[in-house]
Amino acid sequence: MDKRGKFNILHIDSFREFGGAQNDIVMLLKFMKLFYGEKFNIYVIHNGNKKLRNKLDGLGIYSLSIEMKNFLDIKAVFKIRNFLKKYDIDLINFHSSKDQFLGGIASILVYKKKIVKILTRHVAYKVDFFKGALIYRYLTDNFIAISDFIKNGLISDLKIDPEKIETIYSPRVYDADQLERDILFYKSETESVRRELGIKPDEKIISLIGRLSKEKGHEVLIKAAELIIKTRKDLKFVIIGEGELHSSIADSIDIKRLRDYFIMVGFKKDIKRYIFASDLIIVPSGLEGMGSIIIESCALKKAVIASNVGGIPELIKNNETGFLFEAGNYNELANKIIFCIDKRELIKRIGLNCHDEVVLKFDAKEIASRTASVYLNLLTN
């Protein structure tokens, strides 16, 4: 705590790229600073993540890059310890196992002060019990889970006390007037996106947006598309994102002779342009804590077809706020796409229902308030 009675809060994130979790961090800290700046000084340690640093600079939040190579990076441990001492940190909020381990050890080395340690669990991967016993049970005081599915996993897999876990969804900004302005703007951009992608006016756009990695399920969509084009030649499947599976995904499309139906466009900065131009958004993930792209799509009133895994069913209720299919079942996905692609009123209603759900559950101001309450409760009790 500083001389003005403000608590010093540090967030540590060891991920080198800027994805959904990093966007969540930026959004949370923006509203924490805006509404709780009189209670907290906020700092961030990142792992050479330039985009995250730039976003934080824009918010006036001090950040420091510390290389975190692996779980045994002793140099990183001592650099973090020095930061904890220099800025008299009261609470650390971790965002992955690596920074949790390194930062947890560093906090122990600050002998004269008890530092509260929280892990925000963004992913739904199963945690090895022995690894979890060390990192999750002994180097962490409390947890924030971004979905009930993740919370339940911590309880069942690692026997974490439920009282130590708070489910707090990922923060988003949903000012009603601004959302309507955004929708009008992106509607005006639709034809431009179609021209950019080379898609004809009478063709439907089905998009998968996200990192090109195994868990995102690109192969499931490719197999579904192979079935769909036997009867529908007017659909274009757009894959947006970059990642380690780019070559294998492109090869799979070529092997199945689907090149005329797929467009791989790589990373796009303003992803909302492509969400809004799409007729359907597909999320065929094999595992997902919640799915940032689902949240962004629903905010723009776009219907989503997603796999019934992880935290997704907490947002997508089948045939009410979206469409669900069994993970990996490309036959079911193909049938869902064919069933709804021409039903404009159904898609419109589903998109509107999910929009209303998202605005209610993911309001950034409310989420900042709940996070601040967790911090203050731990720091003052």
Structure tokens at 193: 């996106």
| 48-53: average pLDDT | 95
| In-domain check, residue 234 | yes
| 116-126: average pLDDT | 88
User: 32 with 134, same domain?
Assistant: yes
| In-domain check, residue 287 | yes
User: 194 with 303, same domain?
Assistant: yes
User: 336 with 374, same domain?
Assistant: no
pLDDT at 310 over 90: no
User: 132 with 192, same domain?
Assistant: no
What CATH number does residue 207 fall under? 3.40.50.2000
pLDDT at 40 over 90: yes
pLDDT, residue 353, reads 95
User: 149 with 189, same domain?
Assistant: no
| In-domain check, residue 1 | no
pLDDT, residue 221, reads 97
pLDDT, residue 358, reads 87
pLDDT, residue 378, reads 94
Quote the domain boundaries for residue 276: 176-361
pLDDT-derived band at 44 (thresholds 50, 70, 90) equals: very high
Structure pTM?
0.80
| 209-221: average pLDDT | 92
* Per-residue 3-state assignment (H helix, E strand, C coil) for the chain: CCCCCCEEEEEEECCCCCCHHHHHHHHHHHHHHHHHCCCEEEEEEECCCHHHHHHHHHHCCEEEECCCCCCCCHHHHHHHHHHHHHCCCCEEEECCHHHHHHHHHHHHCCCCCCCEEEEEECCCCCCCHHHHHHHHHHCCCEEEECCHHHHHHHHHHHCCCHHHEEECCCCECCCHHHHHHHHHHHHHHHHHHHHHHCCCCCCEEEEEECCCCHHHCHHHHHHHHHHHCCCCCCEEEEEECCCCCHHHHHHHHHHCCCCCCEEEEECCCCHHHHHHHCCEEEECCCCCCCCHHHHHHHHCCCCEEEECCCCHHHCCCECCCEEEECCCCHHHHHHHHHHHCCCHHHHHHHHHHHHHHHHHHCEHHHHHHHHHHHHHHHHHC
User: 357 with 370, same domain?
Assistant: no
> What is the rounded CA–CA span in Å between residue 116 and residue 298?
35
| In-domain check, residue 319 | yes
pLDDT at 102 over 90: yes
User: 200 with 346, same domain?
Assistant: yes
pLDDT-derived band at 116 (thresholds 50, 70, 90) equals: very high
Distances, alpha carbon 25 to alpha carbons 53, 120, 355, in Å: 11, 10, 22
User: 163 with 275, same domain?
Assistant: no
Residue type, 142: N
User: 303 with 356, same domain?
Assistant: yes
| In-domain check, residue 148 | yes
pLDDT, residue 240, reads 95
pLDDT-derived band at 136 (thresholds 50, 70, 90) equals: confident
pLDDT at 3 over 80: no
pLDDT, residue 51, reads 94
pLDDT, residue 5, reads 86
User: 162 with 191, same domain?
Assistant: no
pLDDT, residue 273, reads 93
CA 330 to chain centre: 24
Q: Could you read off the pLDDT of 144-173 as tens digits, one per residue? A: 999 999 999 889 888 889 999 999 998 887
% of residues, the chain, pLDDT over 70: 98
pLDDT, residue 372, reads 96
| In-domain check, residue 2 | no
In contact, 110 and 81? CB cutoff 8 Å: yes
pLDDT, residue 230, reads 94
User: 118 with 215, same domain?
Assistant: no
pLDDT at 42 over 80: yes
User: 79 with 227, same domain?
Assistant: no
Domain count, the chain: 2
| 335-342: average pLDDT | 96
